[in-house]
């Protein structure tokens, strides 16, 4: 890889842009320090034109949220023939879609909190829809991450407020049964668990502030579980990753209860790589320094569909043009 031009894709257009910038900057500095030829590629609505004007051989995706983590950028890189880090198009889309991933968890017998989905226009009917579900509940956008637009509700008034908060980020809203338990995250490489960390947020809920502001949470690695239960959590995380088909570096978020039950919340196909992010903490406990983790992620860059779409030859372009078929200008 050291003879290739590496592009760090960072920024993006989602609500998680700020975190993406931090992830991208950290990975850029780490790979540059290891002697790789890296450049930053800031992602916006014109990323297709930017990539065509920028010579890179491999893309390190440091994006989070919609258009970066949901298969969109992955599909574009596939068609351009640029190998990239993280999962392919379909696993990225499935993991980002909390409804579809939970459906797959149930299919693969991976325990996950009970749930239902509603649309943003259902606010006036929410009491009727929610009537038999009960409280407390947890509300989040169907797609998205970093706990943006998510929160707990212990009554109807709070449910409606949380519903409105989530609807700012997605037309579809996921409502889950609120499970009381310890927050545990498992880091994985190629579906193999590296370890599990326990998160103890000072505010009681691992929200955006607790995740990204230093001093807002305490971390325990390895997670404070019995050896048997610890191994069970690792195995459960591996099954969750297998269910959505994710590859590369991933993170699985779980809840571990006092009555010996574990529940998978979601699979993250592009985990954060900021100084407070969980995957680097887990990897460090498994013997990976931050630079080595970035290098391991880079080494797994690939095309998941093929070698990209073939270019149209000059003869083919002439024939298509003569037939009246509109074509983009040749590069």
Encoding tokens for residue 100? Answer: 């579809």
User: In the annotation, is 251 catalytic?
Assistant: yes
- Reference 217, options 251, 183, 187; nearest CA is 183
Say which of 253, 263, 277, 288 is annotated catalytic: 253
* The CATH number of the domain covering residues in 182-299: 3.30.470.20
Per-residue pLDDT tens for 84-133?
999 999 999 999 999 999 999 999 999 999 999 999 999 999 999 999 99
Q: Is 266 a catalytic residue?
A: yes
pLDDT in tens, 205-247: 555 555 556 667 899 999 999 999 999 999 999 999 999 999 9
Q: Which DSSP string corresponds to 190-230?
A: TTEEEEEEEEEETTSS--HHHHHSTTSEEEESS-S--HHHH
* pLDDT tens by residue, 168-193: 989 999 999 999 999 999 999 999 99
| Alpha-carbon torsion (149, 155, 99, 183), positive or negative | positive
- From 31, 157, 32, 149, select the one nearest 98 (Cα to Cα): 149
pLDDT one-digit tens code per residue, 257-299:
998 899 999 999 999 998 789 999 999 999 999 999 999 999 9
Q: Among this protein's residues, is 289 annotated catalytic? A: no
Residue 326 has pLDDT above 70, yes or no: no
Active-site residue, from 7, 86, 187, 272: 272
Average pLDDT, rounded, for the chain: 90
Spatial separation of the C-alpha atoms in residues 231 and 192, rounded to whole Å: 12
Active-site entry in 68, 183, 266, 277: 266
Instruction: Tell me the pTM.
Output: 0.88
Are the CB atoms for 91 and 76 separated by under 8 Å?
A: no
Query: For the domain 5-85, what is the CATH code?
Result: 3.40.50.20
Mean pLDDT of the region 160-171: 93
Any residues with CB less than 8 A from the CB of 315 and at least 6 apart, and which?
none
Active-site option among 146, 210, 217, 277: 146
Question: Does residue 154 surpass a pLDDT of 70?
Answer: yes
Q: What integer pLDDT is reported at residue 276 of this predicted model?
A: 80
H-helix or E-strand containing 299? helix 290-299
Q: Where are the domains of the chain?
A: 5-85, 114-177, 182-299
> What superfamily does domain 114-177 belong to in CATH?
ATP-grasp fold, A domain (3.30.1490.20)
78, 268, 277, 288: the catalytic one is: 268
Higher pLDDT, 73 or 312: 73
- Positive or negative: CA dihedral 99, 218, 296, 75: positive
Q: Can you tell me the distance from the alpha carbon of 56 to that of 168, in angstroms, rounded to the nearest whole number? A: 35
- Please report which helix (H) or strand (E) contains residue 233, including its range: helix 227-244
Give the model's pLDDT for residue 122. 95
CA-closest candidate to residue 170, choices 152, 153, 145: 145
pLDDT of residue 321: 72
pLDDT winner (highest mean) among 109-123, 147-161, 310-324 = 109-123
Which range (12-16, 23-27, 145-149, 165-169) has the least confidence? 145-149
Task: Give the residue, 45 or 270, on which the prediction is more confident.
Answer: 270
> By the 8 A CB rule, do 150 and 140 touch?
yes
- Residue 275 pLDDT: 76
pLDDT in tens, 59-71: 999 999 889 999 9
The predicted structure's pLDDT at residue 260: 83
Confirm whether 272 is a catalytic residue. yes
């Amino acid at each position: 890889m050291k003879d290739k031009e590496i592009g760090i894709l960072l920024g993006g257009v989602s609500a998680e842009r700020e975190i993406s910038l931090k992830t991208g900057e950290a990975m850029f500095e780490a790979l540059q320090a290891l002697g790789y030829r890296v450049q930053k590629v800031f992602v916006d609505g014109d990323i297709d034109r930017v990539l065509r004007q920028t010579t890179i051989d491999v893309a390190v995706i440091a994006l989070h949220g919609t258009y970066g983590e949901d298969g969109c950028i992955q599909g574009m890189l596939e068609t351009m023939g640029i190998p990239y880090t993280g999962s392919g198009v379909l696993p990225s889309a499935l993991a980002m879609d909390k409804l579809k991933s939970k459906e797959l968890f149930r299919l693969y017998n991976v325990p996950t909190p009970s749930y239902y989905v509603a649309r943003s226009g259902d606010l006036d009917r929410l009491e009727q829809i929610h009537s038999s579900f009960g409280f407390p509940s947890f509300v989040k956008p169907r797609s998205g991450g970093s706990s943006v637009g998510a929160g707990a509700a212990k009554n109807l008034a709070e449910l409606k407020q949380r519903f409105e908060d989530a609807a700012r980020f997605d037309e579809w809203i996921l409502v889950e049964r609120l499970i009381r338990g310890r927050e545990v995250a498992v880091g994985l490489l190629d579906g193999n668990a590296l370890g599990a960390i326990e998160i103890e947020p000072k505010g009681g809920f691992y929200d955006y502030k607790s995740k990204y502001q230093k001093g807002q949470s305490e971390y325990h690695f390895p997670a404070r579980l019995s050896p048997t239960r610890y191994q069970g959590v690792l195995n459960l995380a591996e099954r969750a990753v297998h269910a959505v088909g994710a590859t590369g570096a991933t993170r699985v978020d779980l809840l571990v209860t006092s009555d010996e039950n574990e529940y998978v919340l979601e699979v993250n196909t592009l985990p954060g790589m900021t100084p407070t992010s969980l995957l680097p903490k887990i990897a460090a406990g498994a013997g990976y320094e931050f630079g080595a983790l970035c290098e391991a992620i880079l080494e797994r860059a690939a095309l998941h569909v093929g070698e990209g779409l073939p270019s149209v030859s000059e003869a083919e372009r002439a024939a298509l043009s003569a037939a009246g078929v509109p074509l983009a200008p040749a590069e």
